[in-house]
Structure 1
Amino acid sequence: MAILWLTGCAGLPPYSEPKDAAPVGNFDWGNVKPAEPKPEPRSRYGNPTSYEQDGRTYYVLASADNYRANGVASWYGTKFHGRRTSSGEPYDMFKMTAAHKTLPLPSYVTVTNLDNGKKVVVRVNDRGPFSKNRIIDLSYAAAHKLGMAQKGTANVKIEAINFNHTTNYQAAVQADNQSAGAKRYVQVGAYSNHQTAQKLAKVLDREINLPVKITHIYRQGKKLYRVRIGPIESVEVAQQLVDTLSIKELGQPSIVYQ
């Protein structure tokens, strides 16, 4: 069992291929199914309290709830395709999965490419990466969706999906709905009181030279009014708005796509 849960993307014996690589040939990326976040029991394998790798001890988190981190993502492909992951499942480079050193297996996380604003949801079912300065190893499909497959690495933000919080869960499910035709907005907040949303929208409309609108959504039977700025063409401008509004403590701004 101890051998099985560490046969993932790192700590592996020498393999017949000299190095990892991208898949060869044509592949219809439209056939890649998005990860579908759902509560799952812990895997029988890959979840020891702690384990050692390359002389370092790692402690598996008791829960993925509220996990957030920034770092450098990499990907793994043909060298490990079909091999057993730390959770015991076969690795499929065409599925939306990932490897992480300490998150429980399985976990679901939203990964945002901070270099281009693209976002995906992946299911963490493997251990790694153990290379220096790497925070997560993505499947080739996930790396392709994030626009980082060719470069090999990207600066990313990782946010675990907490199934105890509907907002976090729904946001993650919607992440894979982004496409080339999707419009980018900064959502400042969502409010149950329409007047509160209107007051904030008026302030933003005076201060920001971009369209401000109010849309509504029903969540758990309650009507919420969302204050959004946009559409915004540049992810850099959108991120600057998020940072500025965060400083002013106006709601909980975030970049969303519609």
Structure 2
Amino acid sequence: MRPRFPSIVPLPALCVLVAAGLLAAGCASTEIGPNERRPAAAGTPSGTKAAAPATTASGKGGYYLDDGPGADPPPDLDSIPDATPRAEPLHQASLRPYSALGQDYAPLTRLTPYKARGVATWYGRRYHGKPTSTGERYDMYAMTAAHTILPLPSYAKVTSLASGKSVVVRINDRGPFRKDRLIDLSYAAAHRLGLINDGSGMVEVETLLPGASALTVADPEPAPPPVRVQSDPALTPLPPTNGIFLQLGAFSEPGNAEDFARKMRTELSDLPHPVTVVSVSGLYRVQSGPFPDRNTARGEAERVASRLGSRPFVTVR
């Protein structure tokens, strides 16, 4: 299941614009508590047929809880076509920053090139027919997927690094909400990639723009494991200074705050004051200021809200 996107109170979701419930902690965005959907457990064997989960010689059990294949899977799973990228209006509510399982996420707000490698998992009958983050019904036999930050809906080519097989999926849901997982695939997509039996596998995810197809994207080349680079010194959290500021977001992880600050510097390049990250009360807050008075700060907040669809709030420190 998925996080639901509540109305603005006073900001949209994210402990990148953190919860009304956290206002007492000095943060004024809405935190979205995720619904309890969990992907198929990594390393858990499963089958492509509608059969009871078996216990293997390795001692690994079946599916996670009551998830797994449907009771009557279509006989032509291998021939289910890839999703076809096409221009669609983005689902605005799903583009707002949000928080799930203690992690903060800032979704991309436009279709841009994206490529990443990580662990793919899948989800099946337990969520079949239930609403996704766009409000559509999840179809485990369609070529769809869930991603934490890619725009909804959007399209991506997903390639298994073990088999080299690829599928094109339409991303219409949020998840998986675990640091060690990159994407949740529909049962059909996972079947095509050969991930059903193991429950998970390493993949490369690359966005496709409308009019593109899997053939227009080059197959991935072997690459070394990702290396964590040192953060931009300019984004090192600063000690708070006194004044009137606009708070654009607040995060529990400094890396997420830094990424969001870079994004705000690009999208709000004409802000009259710099965007900085400050560490206050255990949160990394993305703020702009100081402003000479509250009225000036409120006016700038209105202008930012009209551009981002998310209203920053005025804070004094």
TM range (shorter): 0.5 to 0.7
1:47 counterpart letter in structure 2: L
Structure 2 gaps of 5+ residues are 14-32, 39-63, 224-317
**Correspondence for 1:62:** 109
Equivalent pair of 1:36/1:173 in contact (CA under 8 Å): no
**1:97, CA displacement in angstroms?**
0.2
Determine the C-alpha separation between the residues in 2 that align with 1:100 and 1:23: 23
Amino acid at match of 1:2: F
Change (3 A) 1:33 1:14: closer
Q: Which residue of 2 aligns with 1:208?
A: none
TM-score by length of 2: 0.48
- Give the structure 2 partner of residue 134 of structure 1: 181
Q: Which moved more, 1:154-163 or 1:24-33?
A: 24-33
Residue identity in the other structure for 1:33: P
Match of 2:84 in 1: 36
Q: Is there any run of 5+ residues in structure 1 with no aligned partner, and where? A: 176-186, 188-237, 245-258
Is the CA contact (8 Å cut-off) linking 1:121 and 1:173 kept in structure 2? no
Residue aligned with 2:110, SS: coil
- The count of residues paired between Structure 1 and Structure 2 equals 171
Any conservation in 2 of the 1:82–1:90 contact (CA below 8 Å)?
yes
Task: Give the alignment's TM-score, normalised by structure 1.
Answer: 0.59
Q: For 1:44 and 1:98, locate their aligned partners in 2 and report how far apart those are by CA, in whole Å.
A: 18
Q: 1:91 aligns with which of 132, 138, 157?
A: 138
Give CA deviations for 1:30-51 in whole Å, capped at 9, x if unaligned: 5523211111110244221x00
Tell whether the 8 Å contact from 1:86 to 1:126 is kept in structure 2 after alignment. yes
Partner of 1:249: none
Other-structure match for 1:235: none
Structure label with greater radius of gyration: 2
**In structure 2, C-alpha distance between the alignment counterparts of 1:243 and 1:54, rounded to whole Å:** 32
1:70 aligned counterpart, secondary structure: strand
Q: 1:24 to 1:173 in 2, by over 3 A?
A: farther
- Relative to structure 1, is the Cα distance of residues 113 and 11 closer, same or farther in structure 2, using a 3 angstrom cutoff? same
- Structure with more of its chain in strand, by fraction: 1
What secondary structure is seen at the aligned counterpart in 2 of 1:105? coil
Q: How many Å separate the matches in 1 of 2:65 and 2:163?
A: 31
The reply to whether residue 159 of structure 1 matches residue 206 of structure 2 is yes
Residues 40 and 132 of structure 1: CA distance in aligned 2, closer, same or farther (over 3 Å): same
1:86/1:144 Cα in 2 relative to 1: closer, same or farther (>3 Å)? same
Counterpart residue identity of residue 143, structure 1? A
Cross-structure match for 2:230: none
Q: Which residue of 2 aligns with 1:47?
A: 95
Deviation at 1:149, TM superposition (A): 1.1
Q: 1:123, 1:160 → 2: CA distance?
A: 10
Which residue number in structure 2 is paired with residue 117 of structure 1? 164
Inter-CA distance 14–65: structure 2 relative to 1 (3 Å threshold): closer
Q: Distance in 1 between matches of 2:113 and 2:37?
A: 37
* 1:102-144: CA deviation from partner (whole Å, max 9, x where unpaired): 0000010000000000000000000000134000000000000
Detail structure 1 runs of 4+ shifted over 3 Å in the superposition: 3-6
Shift of 1:162: 2.7
Deviation at 1:26, TM superposition (A): 4.8
Q: Cα RMSD (Å) of the superposition?
A: 3.1
- What amino acid maps onto 1:114 in structure 2? L
Q: Distance in 1 between matches of 2:204 and 2:222?
A: 15
Equivalent in the alignment of 1:234: none
2:78 and 2:202 mapped to 1: Cα distance? 25
